[in-house]
Chain A
Amino acid sequence: MSIKGKAYLMGAYEHPTRDAPDKTTAQLHAESARGALEDAGLGFDDVDGYFCAGDAPGFGAMSMIDYMGLKNVRHMDTTETGGSSYILHVAHAAQAIAAGKCQVALITLAGRPRNGGNRPGASMAGGPRGPGLSDGAPEAGFESIYGGSTHNTYGMCAMRHMYEYGTTSEQLAWIKVAASHHAQWNEHAFLKNVVTVEEVVSSRMISDPLHLLDCCVVTDGGGALIVTSPEIAKSLNRPKVRVLGAGEAPKVQQGGKLDLTYSGAVWSGPRAFEEAGVTPADIKYASIYDSFTITVLMQLEDLGFCKKGEGGKFVADGNLISGVGKLPFNTDGGGLCNNHPTNRGGITKVIEAVRQLRGEAHPKVQVPNCDLAIAHGTGGSLGVRHGSATVIMEREA
């Protein structure tokens, strides 16, 4: 597949300002976006692909998607190559459009170097710039001051889920129990001991209602993946794991209309299943991001493995344990027991799915005839704003 003739540049706008003492960088991004959309005869709600680089303040693409109120984004790209980023983004947008991943891609740039504005790369800090004013993440002054961390923002998700659906700490504990049953066979696992529901719920409270054993491990480490063309795959002497479908989505605060009981998996999941042409019932093995027990429960619901609100019942009684339950998950022990390298668990999710599909997982946890697997993750915070990503893979016979 080539991008030749597959995409069109239909809107372009150069912001008229050359000196902006009275606007934030976030505002200049949004005004530029509006200019380009008006030029094309489109609106913000038409945008389903968003591209930005290091000049965009905040957390990847998520802060600007939140700020601008983009509701329909299904493709994101924050590739940073300095001043050439936006030319490269045109190429990436054309690739995404040719692949059917989006139809209207918005690319923005903005900054205020004359006014002590943000410098690319430093914008995550969001601290003071210029005369006492920040030009960093637009949300920072309303969020970071309150002592939010992963523990308590995920804690708020768990608290609300319990309130709305009657989910219990014991049900959440089953997720850790299942992970620990798998980790005991992994010689590299950070925690190899099998734990019980009682041990999880009686471990010390970190941030209500999440206990110490509801949390993932903190580990140093790394990982890498190789993705090839079908021709290269055929030439290599390894089992072939084929990508069938993928979906992605941001979930942000929606101007304050937030709902903590679901994640971006409600959008990324169905997109991946649709492209793959399979359903949750077809999945033999699931790698599910497990920063906390509640992360797994919400994502299983959102991906469609059970109905919304029934995740507690679904994960109980060992249903996630390989050889015991209906949906073997995180058979390496996951982030909860094995590894969460540099606090980013996405890559280990794909790695264990590849092991399962190759039949190279530990014999005690290998899923028989594992020919279809899912790897799913959310990055950032379920409780504030996050990026959701789903990939479905199959073993080629």
Chain B
Amino acid sequence: MSELMTRPVPAPAVTLESKPFFDAAEQGKFLIKRCTACKEAHWYPRTICPFCHSDQTVWEESPGEGVVYSFSIMRKSPSGPYALAYVTLAEGPNVLTNVVDVAPEDLKIGMAVKVKLQPTEGGPPVPVFVPA
């Protein structure tokens, strides 16, 4: 079996709108945004709902469970192969991310995964996903 994939993640650019998300990540919580007007969850989190354009959006803690929608394993990488992926959260939205702690040959579309808040180089932790 190949080695499990990992990837050092750089610090994210944090904006005024995303600061609550990354502050919560520091506390070990994974948040998503939901609109109280149309009830839809969206990603990436923003102040104004991208579906109904209401500003009645609220933060919601998510267990971070989902399935792999698609992925690609980048082989041209000095730190070793890594997986870029979209994960479909149980709440609905697809999240661009890395899937880590999995061997390249074991990663499959449809695989159940769970969020892991991974430390970054000099910034707040960011959500990556691991096999559930």
Contacts and interface: CB of A to CB of B under 8 A. Distances in A.
A361 to B, nearest CB: 34
Given A133-B16, A206-B76, A255 B97 contact: no
Interface of B: 7, 9-19, 22, 40-51, 53, 69-77, 82, 84-86, 89, 92-98, 104, 109, 120, 126, 128
A44 B73 CA distance: 38
Contact of B15 (A24, A157, A207, A260): A24
A8 interface: no
Given A24-B15, A147-B77, A152-B84, A159 B71 contact: yes
The 10 A-B pairs with the shortest beta carbon distances in the complex, nearest first, are A256-B93, A155-B72, A69-B50, A134-B13, A256-B43, A255-B50, A141-B12, A255-B42, A142-B44, A160-B70
Interface string A253-287: 11111101000000000000000000000000000
B95 A147 contact: no
A397 interface: no
A24 B93 contact: no
B34 to A, nearest CB: 11
A205 B73 CA distance: 9
A24 B43 contact: no
B6 to A, nearest CB: 12
Contact of B70 (A44, A135, A159): A159
B43 A156 contact: no
Interface in A24-82: 24, 26-27, 30-31, 34, 43-44, 66-69
15 contacts: A26-B15, A27-B16, A27-B48, A43-B53, A133-B16, A134-B13, A138-B18, A138-B46, A145-B120, A152-B74, A155-B73, A159-B72, A160-B70, A205-B75, A258-B86
Contacts of B82: 147
Best-surrounded residue of A135, A140, A209, A253 (most CB of chain B within 10 A): A253
A152 B95 CA distance: 15
Given A147-B82, A207-B76, A253-B44, 17 more contacts: A26-B17, A69-B53, A127-B13, A142-B43, A142-B44, A142-B96, A143-B44, A145-B11, A152-B84, A154-B72, A207-B72, A255-B93, A256-B43, A256-B89, A256-B92, A256-B93, A256-B95
